[in-house]
Homo-oligomer: A and B are copies of this chain.
Amino acid sequence: MALSVHHIAEKVGCSFRGDGETLISGIAPLETAQAKHISFLANPKYARLLDQSAAGCIIISENLTAIKPGTYLLARNPYYIFALVSQLFYQPVSTPDGISPDAVLEEEVQIGNDCSISPFVYLARGARIGDRVTVYPHVYIGQNSIVGDGTLIYPNVTIRENVTIGKRVIIHSSTVIGSDGYGFAQEGERHYKIPQTGEVIIEDDVELGAGVTIDRGTLGPTRIGRGTKCDNQVHIAHNVTVGDNSLLIAQVGISGSSKIGKSVTIAGQSGLVGHITIGDRTIIAAASSVTKSFPAGSMISGLIPARDHKKAKRTIASLFRLPNLINRVNSLEKILKDKGLMNSGPTKTHED
């Protein structure tokens, strides 16, 4: 498939400079692009790659001056335009049309138009699949669950009963939606199961990576808001709500009943305790353990960066001596004050 630069620019709503008849047939990075490729420069620190690139067209910031003659797409947000152009050239894997005779459908299953339901798919009673839905092999969709138009479900996904999946959702392999929340009442030494009868709601335009687990609510729903993107191996416990357009990076864990706002970013491997609220637009650094609520617009970190192991060992050994060290400094200050060598009056002893 080849498109002219002129045509691409029109489709993505950009202006262009140079030869609009240049034919582009794919995407490549600046370093390896050939004349048939379109590339992009979003980060000024890579600007030297521009001069060396053989790309037929390059998406650049409309503010970029002092560039060699050539063919460019001019964008306020070059990375976003790159995403749109990539989507133009993207050719999804084809899957067989229709409902495979090697799929198993229980009674009262409804399937919309232009679906692709593969062999080894299992649709339980009352499941309702919308239009233009693609379901790869080895997917289980439980009773009364709903899958919205345009959704794509990769192999080996489990969607339990009473789950609502919105439109244009993408669910990667081995993900589990609607497993029982982790709920037990202890009596003596034993733990008694609390049935988890709530639902899961995955709103439109969500993408869930591979190996994600999202538990159903105890009585009510666990909910992932519109446009949120979960990376691989994220864990969402029962009764959690995540707002729209949030980014949950790989291996994050969110404990039960916590509420994550809109446009929140939680970086990889972070963990949140239960029953807290994280305000809109908060950013949480990687490997951070969040133990309390934070208001909107917070920037939070608990990440301790790794160091050379000898330095790390020395630092950790010192760490456990720190409470005692504070006492020693208290004593030193007291001595100096008693000797008149230091002003009396409180020194700051509280947390910085």
* A contact set with B: CB distance below 8 Å: 27-29, 77, 79-80, 82-84, 86-87, 89-90, 93-94, 96, 102, 104, 106, 118-120, 122, 124, 136-138, 140, 142-143, 154-158, 160-161, 170, 172-176, 179-180, 182, 184-187, 189-195, 197, 207, 209-211, 213, 215, 219-220, 227, 229, 231-233, 235, 237, 244-245, 247, 249-251, 253, 255, 262-263, 268-271, 273, 283-292, 298-329, 331-333, 335-336, 339, 341-342, 347-352
Contacts and interface: CB of A to CB of B under 8 A. Distances in A.
A233 B245 contact: no
A309 B315 contact: no
A140 B143 contact: no
18 contacts: A27-B197, A28-B219, A80-B192, A82-B194, A102-B104, A104-B120, A173-B179, A189-B244, A232-B235, A233-B233, A233-B253, A237-B250, A299-B308, A300-B308, A315-B322, A325-B326, A325-B329, A339-B341
A86 B195 contact: yes
Given A289-B287, A305-B290, A320-B351, A209 B182 contact: yes
A13 B221 CA distance: 31
Nearest to A197: B90
Contacts of A106: 96
Given A227-B191, A251-B271, A352-B321, A158 B173 contact: yes
A318 B313 contact: no
B79 A185 contact: yes
Contacts of A311: 320, 352
Contact of A302 (B89, B192, B306, B314): B306
Given A27-B219, A350-B324, A290 B306 contact: yes
Nearest to A263: B189
Contacts of A194: 82-83, 86
Given A174-B211, A249-B182, A318 B329 contact: no
B232 A185 contact: no
Contacts of A302: 304-307, 312
A41 B143 CA distance: 32
B306 A285 contact: yes
A237 B305 CA distance: 20
A326 B291 CA distance: 26
Contacts of A173: 140, 158, 160, 176, 179
A291 B269 contact: no
A106 B322 CA distance: 63
Contacts of A94: 143
Nearest to A192: B83
Nearest to A248: B182
A342 to B, nearest CB: 6
Q: Which of A79, A84, A250 has the most chain B CB atoms closer than 10 A to its own CB? A: A250
A351 B305 CA distance: 14
Contact of A82 (B157, B185, B303, B323): B185
